[in-house]
Amino acid sequence: MAGSPYASALGRLKPEFSTFLGRDLWPSLAGAKEPNEFAKLLETTPYAPEVARARATHAGSTLVEVAINRTFVRRNRHAYEAAPFAGRAVVAAYLGRWDIQNIEMILSAKALGRTITETEDHLVSSRDIPAGLYAGVMTLDDFRIVLGQPTLEATVSQLVKYGYGGTILPLLEAFERTHDIFPVLQALDRQYFKAVLEAARFFQGDEWVVRSFIQSELDVRNAMLLLKGKSAALPVEAVLGRWLDGGTLTAAQAPDLYAARGVPELAERLATRFPSIADGTGDFTNGASLSGYEVAIQRDRALTELKRMRAYPLSLGVIFTYLLLAELERSDLRRLVFGRLYGFAPERLTPLLISPRL
């Protein structure tokens, strides 16, 4: 393995792992009373340069989110640039998820009548660089052009030239009748997962680690779909209509799982895949909230996948370990800043964090 093309990737990314936030900082972040205090705490971390730059044009929670997103994009760039030629296509396909997320945000904003300014600040981008630039085909100027379209229909037409409109156009007529944006977003998700799974084929022998990683994300999504459907008392047919194929949790298994008498029993049936899922039952029993289940499932997935990928350091695993840690940290930081903004106490938010427990 001394001649592995991933030896260079390991060498380039290893120092970057130390830039993730230490466990001792998270209680202080959770206790921050308002976004400016949160931003000051981030100024003692690797987020400091982006916090300083964002202060020139932003304030409050928007300042924090912009700084978090810009740092996240920089980390994506490090991972992409560290990937050797043999693995770069897989990393590129994976990073295309942020183009998809930005497009979904724009379409949702258009459906709700939101303005350009309201939406642009929340795009996953780093100043003039969107996160998907290293994988996708859209620059920040492209996103601004899409944002500037007067209607959802015009927005979709604009997306055609970037390779996404063909997925959305067949659903446009149904949207005009129902004003339900979900089928459009789901079609984009299906396109993305199909592309990234196809990219993670076995041509060198180490892509199986990443393929398992992607499949586990689909399993999380589908497990949450089951829980949300059961909580809303939806028929199993409605749940299966929203299923995303490609994971190890298959649509054929769903009816038996969904036959549970309620959400807690369904969670018990999912425990073979997500051992900590019962941690969320208290939240559900006390307030019908699925957030505890979601965090437990995501934490189980993170622990399993990190253990698997770290066992193969001279492979794509090192790059995706870094990407996963970056995603989890971004998610936890956003959960804290917006949770505090909406009045949630630190003791309510801390159990929902994943990064400090890895």
**Which residues are CB-contacts of 241 (< 8 A; sequence separation ≥ 6)?**
none
Domain assignment of residue 268, yes or no:
yes
pLDDT one-digit tens code per residue, 157-179: 777 777 777 788 888 888 778 87
Q: What confidence score (pLDDT) does residue 131 get?
A: 43
Domain assignment of residue 277, yes or no:
yes
- Pair 111, 139: CB distance under 8 Å: no
- Pair 300, 274: CB distance under 8 Å: yes
Q: Give the domain range for residue 241.
A: 207-311
- Pair 206, 260: CB distance under 8 Å: no
Domain assignment of residue 343, yes or no:
no
Domain assignment of residue 226, yes or no:
yes
pLDDT one-digit tens code per residue, 225-268: 999 999 999 999 999 999 999 999 999 999 999 999 999 999 99
CA-CA-CA-CA torsion sign (348, 349, 350, 352): positive
Q: What confidence score (pLDDT) does residue 174 get?
A: 85
Closest CA to 111 of 174, 189, 190, 193: 174
Measured between alpha carbons, how far is 110 from 13 in angstroms, rounded to an integer?
A: 38
Domain assignment of residue 133, yes or no:
no
Q: What confidence score (pLDDT) does residue 275 get?
A: 96
Domain assignment of residue 116, yes or no:
no
| Number of domains present in the structure of the chain | 1
Q: pTM for this structure? A: 0.88
Measured between alpha carbons, how far is 42 from 32 in angstroms, rounded to an integer?
A: 11
Closest CA to 209 of 305, 65, 101: 305
pLDDT tens digit at each of 358 positions of the chain: 455 778 888 889 999 999 999 999 999 999 999 999 999 999 999 999 999 999 988 899 889 988 998 899 899 989 999 988 888 889 989 998 888 887 887 777 777 776 655 555 556 544 444 444 444 556 767 777 877 888 777 887 777 777 777 788 888 888 778 878 888 888 889 989 998 999 888 666 667 889 999 999 999 999 999 999 999 999 999 999 999 999 999 999 999 999 999 999 999 999 999 999 999 999 899 888 899 999 999 999 999 999 999 998 888 899 999 999 999 999 999 999 989 888 899 999 999 999 999 8
Domain assignment of residue 331, yes or no:
no
Domain assignment of residue 254, yes or no:
yes
pLDDT one-digit tens code per residue, 72-83: 989 998 999 998
CATH number for the domain spanning 300: value is 1.20.1690
